[in-house]
């Protein structure tokens, strides 16, 4: 077992890792930027190291600072959380070179799955359905037009190294292709320093369904069922739930087993997520996230399996203790991401939280690093809390989420709680008739 784990992250996920360490009896080391000195992850970790100034590039993203912090504190493992360095193969590689266990898959798998067009190719080989489209990057505008005609419009252009919606363009006809291609290419270049694009069939009303994967170092890979994350805005998820209201048991089995097949093909280790677009009984591999996800509590709630503890044990070399057939879904779970932002204009709203009262009672979980008096800094992501509910049915779960949102008091800054309440009261949402377009449509009304 590890003696000491350095948590290379901040905010709620850093706390989440610290809880897991405490429950396993492992010491934890928090790293922090100077403005995060009063953060809860610093307070609750056994040790802490200030690694740089507020700017992420000078602190949470600075590999030498984090490795040095691990060295001076004698940490034998690093948990990267999500975001920051969590999917950086170079970081995982350096950890390995420094004899520090990176809690996640191997650098090779991170690199392979981190390149979206390569990942797609690989999954195709593994027999995982992918969206019809270019086989890897499209070399020219002409090639883009020819493939688009082949798979029929609309199509979507995406940056090979992309994420977060940057470098994406939906193209409905041949006429639009030229402008879209050039725009997407320059966005990709500006954002990722890589202008290569790929192209695929654009689904009009897809659902975002993802499968949680868990693997050990001995080739044992299981899935912990799916999550549906269709409620999103510009590819930023807002509400996630499990199980997906769209899937029949047969489809669930099919999509989850397909995900396991894909993960086995790349000899996946540790926790990861296979993201699919689902439309009308068909599902297509989109990408794989080679890390813990923000929405992992949803899966923890329906399976009663602690994913962070599983990650640590797996990285430590423990053999998988779960058998696929023993994984049971209990009830329904849902997560609302509470962001410090204007609920309808989405402008970030950093500032000091003057009152912070979290909801309690049955079936309510809150993952947060915020507290009364803390300052939400403009330097980092606007997620301030994850509110997660569980209940026997989806309907009960929504009622519980509603009352929890209504009794979550955050004063001093604006949050998106009013937006969540609006979504929860929507008739289509209540019926489970959602797609990745849901929020856009709700907001345009």
Residues making contact with its own copies (CB under 8 A): 15-16, 19, 22-25, 40, 44, 297, 300, 304, 306, 308, 330-331, 355-358, 360-368, 371-373, 391-392, 396, 399-400, 402-403, 406-407, 409
Give SS3 for 365.
strand
Q: Residue 49 binds which entry of its own copies, other proteins, none, with Cβ cut-offs from 5 to 8 Å by kind?
A: other proteins
Q: Smallest Cα–Cα separation from 309: which of 24, 25, 11?
A: 24
291 is catalytic: yes
Rule CB under 8 A: say whether 374 interacts with other proteins: yes
Helix 11-24 × helix 307-315 angle, to 10°: 70
Q: Smallest Cα–Cα separation from 351: which of 373, 376, 318?
A: 376
Q: Residue 408 binds which entry of its own copies, other proteins, none, with Cβ cut-offs from 5 to 8 Å by kind?
A: other proteins
DSSP letters spanning 227-242: EEEEEEETTEEEEEEE
Q: Which of 54, 68, 327, 424 binds other proteins (CB under 8 A)?
A: 68
Q: Which of 5, 69, 113, 246 binds other proteins (CB under 8 A)?
A: 69
Q: Give the residue with the Cβ less far from other proteins, 54 or 126.
A: 54
Residue count of the chain, please give it.
Answer: 445
The catalytically annotated residue of 185, 207, 291, 394 is 291
Give SS3 for 26.
coil
Q: Residue 15 binds which entry of other proteins, its own copies, none, with Cβ cut-offs from 5 to 8 Å by kind?
A: its own copies
Between strands 77-79 and 101-102, the pairing is parallel
Rule CB under 8 A: say whether 274 interacts with other proteins: no
Q: Give the helix ranges, DSSP H, for 152-192.
A: 174-192
Residues 6+ apart with CB under 8 A from 422: 442
Q: Give the residue with the Cβ less far from other proteins, 53 or 129.
A: 53
Q: Give the residue with the Cβ less far from other proteins, 27 or 201.
A: 27
DSSP letters spanning 199-212: EEEPPSS-EEEEEE
Give SS3 for 357.
strand
Rule CB under 8 A: say whether 71 interacts with other proteins: yes
Q: Give the residue with the Cβ less far from other proteins, 68 or 189.
A: 68
The secondary element (H helix, E strand) that includes residue 116 is helix 116-125
Q: Give the residue with the Cβ less far from other proteins, 285 or 356.
A: 356
From the DSSP assignment, how many helices (H) and strands (E) are in the chain? 15, 20
Rule CB under 8 A: say whether 55 interacts with other proteins: no
The span from the CA of 5 to the CA of 119, in Å, is 30
Q: Give the residue with the Cβ less far from other proteins, 76 or 143.
A: 76
Q: Residue 368 binds which entry of its own copies, other proteins, none, with Cβ cut-offs from 5 to 8 Å by kind?
A: its own copies
Fill in the per-residue mask, 73 to 112: x = in contact with other proteins (CB under 8 A), - = not in contact. Answer: x--------------------x---x--------------
CA 14 to each of CA 44, 253, 333: distance values in angstroms, whole numbers, following the listed order:
10, 33, 22
Q: Which of the stretches 146-154, 171-179, 278-286, 407-415 binds other proteins when contact is defined by CB under 8 A? A: 407-415
Instruction: List residues with catalytic annotation.
Output: 291
């Amino acid at each position: 077992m590890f003696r000491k784990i350095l948590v290379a992250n901040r905010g709620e996920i850093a706390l989440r890792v610290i809880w897991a360490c405490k429950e396993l009896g492992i010491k934890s080391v928090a790293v922090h930027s100077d403005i995060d000195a009063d953060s809860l992850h610093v307070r609750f970790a056994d040790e802490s190291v200030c690694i740089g100034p507020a700017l992420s590039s000078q602190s949470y993203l600075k590999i030498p600072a984090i490795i040095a912090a691990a060295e001076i504190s004698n940490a034998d493992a690093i948990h990267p959380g999500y975001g920051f360095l969590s999917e950086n193969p170079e970081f995982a590689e350096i950890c390995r070179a420094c004899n520090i266990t990176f809690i996640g898959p191997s650098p090779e798998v991170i690199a392979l799955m981190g390149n979206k067009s390569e990942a797609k190719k690989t999954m195709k080989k593994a027999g995982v359905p992918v969206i019809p489209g270019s086989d890897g990057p499209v070399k020219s505008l002409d090639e883009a037009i020819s493939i688009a005609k082949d798979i029929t419009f609309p199509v979507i252009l995406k940056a090979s190294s992309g994420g977060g919606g940057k470098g994406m363009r939906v193209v409905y006809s041949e006429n639009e292709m030229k402008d879209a291609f050039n725009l997407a290419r320059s966005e990709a270049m500006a954002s990722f320093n890589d202008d290569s694009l790929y192209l695929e069939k654009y689904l009009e009303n897809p659902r975002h369904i993802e499968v949680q994967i868990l693997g050990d170092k001995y080739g044992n890979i299981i899935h912990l069922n799916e999550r549906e994350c269709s409620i999103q805005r510009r590819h930023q998820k807002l509400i996630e739930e499990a199980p997906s209201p769209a899937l029949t048991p047969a489809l669930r089995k099919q999509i989850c087993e397909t995900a396991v097949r894909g993960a086995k093909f790349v000899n996946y280790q540790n926790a990861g997520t296979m993201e699919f677009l689902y439309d009308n009984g068909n599902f297509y591999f989109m990408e794989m996230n080679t890390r813990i996800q923000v929405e992992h509590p949803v899966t923890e709630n329906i399976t009663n399996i602690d994913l962070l503890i599983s990650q640590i044990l797996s990285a430590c070399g423990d053999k998988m203790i779960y058998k696929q057939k023993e994984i049971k879904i209990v009830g329904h779970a849902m997560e609302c991401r509470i962001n410090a932002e204007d609920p309808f204009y989405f402008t970030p709203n950093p500032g000091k939280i003057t009152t912070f009262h979290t909801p309690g009672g049955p079936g309510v979980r809150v993952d947060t690093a915020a507290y009364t008096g803390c300052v939400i800094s403009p330097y980092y992501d606007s997620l301030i809390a994850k509110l997660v509910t569980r209940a026997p049915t989806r309907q009960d779960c929504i009622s519980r989420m509603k009352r929890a949102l209504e009794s979550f008091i955050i004063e001093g800054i604006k949050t998106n709680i009013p937006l969540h309440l609006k979504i929860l009261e929507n008739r289509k949402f209540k019926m489970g008739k959602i797609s990745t377009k849901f929020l856009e449509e709700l907001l345009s009304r």
